[in-house]
């Protein structure tokens, strides 16, 4: 019966669309869109068919010719129906945005916050609309009227589409600090995660909302809310060990509800925030020991096991199980390679030679994709693992060896030449230079004869890492004003 009703609605829409487009009203087009949205939600995509684009075209026409008489509530209905149908129709969204831009003073504040949220859910980034809304909401008169729900809806939209606005985020932060006791725990999760995704780390805001987070009853949270909160604090490097320990306890007994990504984020956040919850870690380990690891994406496998290694937790069998799964994966990226090698460096009793060879092969095949951080971290870990001996079993086609060169010396030459190339493109930052110095020092101490046999250009680059940068030397040589 539902299917017959849906088909009848679609036939009715198809019959009336041409009339709506030529002689109908906005109300008629909205009614048809609402009808399709209703049946589309209950019966799947069968009822959407070709009628939805025609209804959307009719709505675009009415939005243009009836702009002066259209109310904000009608625009909200259009965006809401499109979200329910997951229907992103650029001309319709552009027409709706144009109406908002023209009539923004007449829109209630909750609508101005919800409309960009709808655009974000449809993954449609209308930059002029977002810029105008950011300026409007950032005004003192508007920001003081924002509710916590308004803020959560708004900042989520800006984070989802990666649209930064320092003025908007600062205004929202000031408003939230004034009403932090009214912000529920789940909304805290949305807000803090949005600020972290936009790299807007506001310690005062995080500290203010932390009060609401720990006061909220654990059962009020979905499990992903808790992992999102901890991940936001870790991304922004805001250390609150005691409170984060309490937040992590909200997950005790609920680990079975976590998705693989939640597990990976949780392990990574606990490691960065120095949270040591033995009961929670035991539950994570027990689940990871029996879960189908095929359900994990590669970055989730590497992040989870790397987090446990940094926490110095996990039995050898667990690491062996994860390493065995990683061997059969193929979609590696440089950061994942560095994480796996660092995991084995931290857990040297659990090394996996087959996986190390796979990592070496990936590095040599894709060396041009490695930036400074993953390159220095991965090479340093290889040295600490005494893994250069494994280069003898690497396919010869991956090594361009010079006369008299051993496979291990060839591999290190290629790695150091890549680092030299990156330095010539963009000079190493002080932190990067420090990591590079540590890498070279380790290589020289562990393989001094091999290091001395490297080409002159490679050794000259290694020595240059210890030179005083020109900018520092110039500042030291600059004459100082006498006091």
pTM above 0.85, yes or no: no
Q: What is the pLDDT along the chain (483 residues), one digit of tens a residue?
A: 332 233 234 334 444 434 344 334 555 555 556 555 554 444 444 344 457 777 888 888 888 887 788 888 888 888 988 888 888 889 999 999 999 999 998 899 889 999 999 999 999 999 999 999 999 998 867 678 889 999 999 999 999 999 999 999 999 999 999 998 899 889 999 999 999 999 999 999 999 999 889 988 999 999 999 999 999 999 999 999 899 999 999 999 999 999 999 999 999 999 999 999 999 999 999 999 999 999 999 999 999 999 999 999 999 999 999 999 999 998 999 999 999 999 999 987 678 899 999 999 999 999 999 999 999 999 999 999 999 889 888 887 888 778 888 999 999 999 999 999 999 999 999 999 999 999 999 999 999 999 999 999 999 999 999 886 655 555 555 565 555
* Interatomic CA distance for residues 248 and 231, integer angstroms: 11
Rg (CA), the chain: 29
* Interatomic CA distance for residues 134 and 217, integer angstroms: 33
* Interatomic CA distance for residues 335 and 165, integer angstroms: 29
Lookup: tokens for 20:
């709506």
Degrees, nearest 5: CA angle 288-289-294: 65
Q: How far is CA 392 from CA 406, 407, 417, in A?
A: 9, 6, 20
Q: How far is CA 76 from CA 41, 60, 73, in A?
A: 18, 14, 5
The tokens 């799964």 sit on which residue?
A: 325
**DSSP string across 386-440:** TGGGGGGGS-GGG--PPTT--HHHHHHHHHHHHHHHHHHHSPPPHHHHHHHHHHH
* Interatomic CA distance for residues 298 and 304, integer angstroms: 10
The tokens 């100082």 sit on which residue?
A: 480
Q: Which helix (H) or strand (E) holds 106?
A: none
Helix (H, G, I), strand (E, B) or coil at 72: helix
């Amino acid at each position: 019966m539902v299917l017959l009703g849906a088909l009848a609605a679609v036939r009715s829409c198809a019959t009336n669309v041409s009339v709506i487009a030529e002689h109908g009203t906005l109300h008629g087009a909205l009614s048809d869109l609402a009808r399709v949205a209703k049946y589309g939600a209950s019966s799947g995509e069968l009822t959407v068919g070709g009628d939805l684009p025609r209804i959307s075209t009719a709505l675009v026409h009415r939005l243009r010719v009836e702009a002066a008489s259209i109310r904000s509530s009608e625009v909200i209905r259009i965006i809401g129906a499109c979200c329910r149908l997951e229907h992103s129709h650029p001309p319709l969204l552009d027409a709706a945005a144009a109406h908002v831009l023209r009539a923004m003073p007449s829109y209630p504040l909750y609508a101005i916050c919800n409309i960009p949220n709808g655009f974000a859910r449809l993954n449609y980034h209308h930059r002029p609309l977002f810029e105008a809304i950011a300026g409007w909401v950032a005004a003192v008169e508007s920001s003081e009227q924002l509710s916590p729900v308004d803020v959560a809806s708004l900042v989520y939209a800006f984070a989802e589409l990666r649209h930064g606005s320092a003025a908007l985020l600062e205004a929202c932060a000031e408003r939230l600090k004034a009403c932090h006791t009214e912000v529920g725990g789940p909304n805290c999760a949305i807000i803090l995660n949005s600020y972290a995704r936009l790299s807007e780390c506001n310690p005062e805001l995080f500290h203010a909302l932390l009060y609401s987070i720990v006061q909220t009853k654990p059962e009020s949270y979905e499990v992903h809310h808790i992992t999102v909160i901890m991940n936001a604090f870790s991304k922004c490097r805001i250390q609150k060990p005691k409170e984060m320990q309490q937040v992590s306890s909200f997950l005790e007994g609920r680990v079975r509800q976590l998705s693989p990504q939640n597990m990976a984020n949780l392990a990574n956040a606990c490691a960065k925030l120095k949270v040591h919850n033995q009961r929670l870690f035991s539950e994570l380990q027990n689940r990871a020991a029996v879960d189908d690891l095929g359900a994990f994406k590669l970055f989730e496998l590497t992040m989870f096991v790397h987090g446990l290694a940094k926490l110095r937790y996990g039995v050898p069998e667990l690491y062996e199980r994860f390493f065995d799964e990683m061997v059969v994966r193929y979609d590696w990226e440089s950061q994942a390679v560095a994480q796996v090698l660092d995991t084995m460096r931290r857990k040297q009793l659990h090394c996996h030679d087959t996986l190390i060879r796979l990592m070496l092969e990936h590095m040599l095949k894709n060396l041009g994709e490695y930036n400074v951080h993953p390159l220095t971290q991965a090479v340093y870990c290889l040295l600490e693992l005494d893994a250069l001996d494994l280069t003898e079993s690497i396919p010869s086609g991956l090594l361009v060896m010079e006369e008299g060169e051993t496979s291990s010396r060839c591999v290190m030459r290629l790695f150091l030449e890549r680092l030299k190339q990156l330095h010539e493109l963009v000079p190493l930052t002080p932190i990067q230079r420090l990591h590079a110095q540590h890498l070279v020092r380790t290589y020289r101490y562990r393989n001094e004869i091999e290091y001395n046999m490297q080409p002159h250009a490679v050794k000259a680059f290694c020595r240059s890492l210890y030179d005083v940068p020109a900018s520092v030397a110039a500042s030291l040589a600059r004459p100082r004003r006498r006091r």
